[in-house]
Chain A
Amino acid sequence: MNRASLHFLLAALVAIALPLFMRSGTLASEVLIFAMAAAACNLLLGYTGLLSFGQGIFFGLGSYAAGLTLLHTSLPLALALVLSAITGAVVATGVGWLSIRRQGVYFVMLTLAFSQFFYFLAYTFKDITGGDNGLLNIPRPAIGPFSLGESWAYYAFVAVLFLLLFAALQRVASSTFGRTLLAVRDNEERARAIGFPVRNFKITAFAISGAVTGLAGALHALLIGVAPLSNIDYHMSESILIMTIIGGTGNLFASVLGAGFYVIVSDLLSSIWPRWLLLLGGLLIVVALFMQKGLWGLLERLVEALPMGRKSSINSSIESPIQPESEGRGI
């Protein structure tokens, strides 16, 4: 079995296992929704080398787009989801187009600035977005003959979409396009020198990432029946980035791990200890210092430590602190 099929199988296992181990369908849905957002973020961070603080924009706008469509029109659910994906893609194309004019720190600052800008835009246009209160009472219509009212029914719907999108993202990652992104991350100057219009590749990566993130945002709004202001907040961008980094940027399944960990641990800890974010900060420091391959890297090491695990290969026994994402190639 090749790596891509293995990772898809792992993703499917997660989707099947969540209902077995979790009591709340809402929380389980949240895991998969953020897994999509983190995987989309990974396409930019892990594959293209772009640290984007703009992911919350696409997530939040996806929420609003779906909410507004379902509240004000009689369009079916599927179309509302498509519209939010398109919104995400279009805005991401614009944000990407402007931000990639600068590199490194200045690129990051531009995405951060856009993030603030869209937050205030949403806050200011209260008539449309509901401002502080959010866009309330978003209905969750049936999809064809299937009612999605019950939380596990909705979970099933989210899980199917999650697996479809995961497979699509895998396809993107392994395409000539995805492999060119890896080259851009590795050595942008050379990629241009051998003929690739690097900016077009980065913008396309942004568009795809924005579409998936927008869709995730829509699913989130449908999940809780509200498109809250917090979905477009800068903290949303931050959370999506943290999930992606904790999971590991080497492959797409790592993002599923990161999202699962983040959502479940936040849920557990926030009920026992209100200052649990401190712990998360500590964990992030540990990841940055000692385990740049994230939870996925940890998992790999555990599998290798098992007596019947794979024989440890030279590649994985040499921990290269500068190239934590060298795993990204074969997905």
Chain B
Amino acid sequence: MSTQTPILAADKLSVRYGSFLALSDVTLSIKPNTIHSVIGPNGAGKTTLFHALTGRVRASSGRITLDGQDITHVSDDKRVPLGIARSFQVTSLFQNLNVRENLRLAAQGRNPLQALAPWRGVDPRDHALAVADEVMERLELTHVSDRAAGELSHGQQRRLEVGMAVAAKPRLILLDEPTSGMGIDDVEAMKALIRDLGRDHTVLFIEHNMGIVMNISDTVTVMRAGRVLVEGPPAVVRDDPEVRRAYLGNMITGDIA
């Protein structure tokens, strides 16, 4: 496995917000068809890492490669057709558009230039619509398909947020705290979904729920203060003394199945 080209790799990646170094020399390598989680205390730079990998913020130094190709200077919208999609920690939907339209747009984003033709209508047999319906089914949103996203309950909005990334049918899917703010039943369903996504996508996700992290990850990266602290399989990471110290000893409680 270790000789395989990583699907996504970051090499000494740094991000600055003004004079503040939020990400400092992060080197990371995501193996294809694995579930890779990123953990770390608040403010560790996990979301910033996602922002840099997806192009939302510019790297101040370092390199990002997708399948060995340098994408450091590719803009965020152009990384989607290359097969990278993400969900956000802070829900960001098209509030006035209905659930189906939100997902149709997310699916269309894989072929964005098709949508630039002002005379091209939305065919009922449209591929993007079919994807939207499939994702609604998968995330149990079908019964609210015609409701505006802004009218959904918090849990439903969180599911739709994850669905937006799924609808892009990416090769690499990045989920930023997919279970945050969810009820217990939803958390279990989300865990099952992430595991399921791992079958035909590469998954990179940020999560505070150690039960999920230790249970379904192939690799765990621990971050602290903008740096990678430890990386390895769940069992190794859980028993690492540095990690225990970073988490003040009591946050890693999840058991390993």
A binds B: yes
Is the C-beta of B49 less than 8 angstroms from some C-beta in chain A?
no
B116 engages A200 (CB within 8 Å):
yes
Complex Cα gap A194–B104 (Å):
11
Complex Cα gap A111–B76 (Å):
27
A176 engages B115 (CB within 8 Å):
yes
Enumerate chain A residues within 8 angstroms of B118, measured Cβ to Cβ.
Answer: 171-172, 175, 177-178, 204, 208
B96 engages A326 (CB within 8 Å):
yes
Is the C-beta of A179 less than 8 angstroms from some C-beta in chain B?
yes
Contacts across chains A and B counted by CB atoms under 8 Å: 108
Within 8 A of A (CB), among B114-146: 114-122
A195 engages B109 (CB within 8 Å):
yes
Write the A190-212 contact mask toward B (1 if CB under 8 angstroms, else 0): 11111111101100100010000
Is the C-beta of A180 less than 8 angstroms from some C-beta in chain B?
yes
Write the A1-33 contact mask toward B (1 if CB under 8 angstroms, else 0): 000000000000000000000000000000000
Is the C-beta of B201 less than 8 angstroms from some C-beta in chain A?
no
Enumerate chain A residues within 8 angstroms of B93, measured Cβ to Cβ.
Answer: 187, 190
User: Known contacts A194-B80, A195-B81; is A189 also within 8 Å of B96 by CB?
Assistant: no
The minimal Cβ–Cβ distance linking A193 to chain B, given in whole angstroms, is 6
Enumerate chain B residues within 8 angstroms of A175, measured Cβ to Cβ.
Answer: 117-122
Is the C-beta of A183 less than 8 angstroms from some C-beta in chain B?
yes
Enumerate chain A residues within 8 angstroms of B92, measured Cβ to Cβ.
Answer: 187, 189-190, 193
A contacts with B: majority SS: helix
B115 engages A180 (CB within 8 Å):
yes
Is the C-beta of B54 less than 8 angstroms from some C-beta in chain A?
yes
Residue with the greatest number of chain A CB neighbours at <10 A, chosen from B115, B164, B168: B115
Write the B65-109 contact mask toward A (1 if CB under 8 angstroms, else 0): 000000000001110110001101000111111100100011011
User: Known contacts A193-B54, A195-B77, A196-B115; is A176 also within 8 Å of B96 by CB?
Assistant: no
- Which positions in A face B, CB cutoff 8 Å? 171-172, 174-180, 182-183, 186-187, 189-198, 200-201, 204, 208, 323, 325-326, 329
Listed A/B pairs (22) with beta-carbon separation below 8 Å: A171-B118, A174-B121, A175-B119, A176-B114, A180-B108, A186-B95, A187-B95, A190-B164, A193-B76, A193-B80, A193-B88, A194-B85, A194-B105, A195-B109, A195-B112, A196-B77, A196-B109, A196-B112, A197-B112, A200-B116, A326-B96, A329-B101
Q: Assuming A177-B120, A194-B105, A326-B148, what are 17 further A-B pairs, CB within 8 angstroms?
A: A175-B121, A183-B101, A186-B97, A190-B88, A190-B94, A193-B54, A194-B109, A195-B77, A195-B78, A195-B112, A196-B77, A196-B109, A196-B115, A197-B113, A201-B115, A325-B96, A329-B96
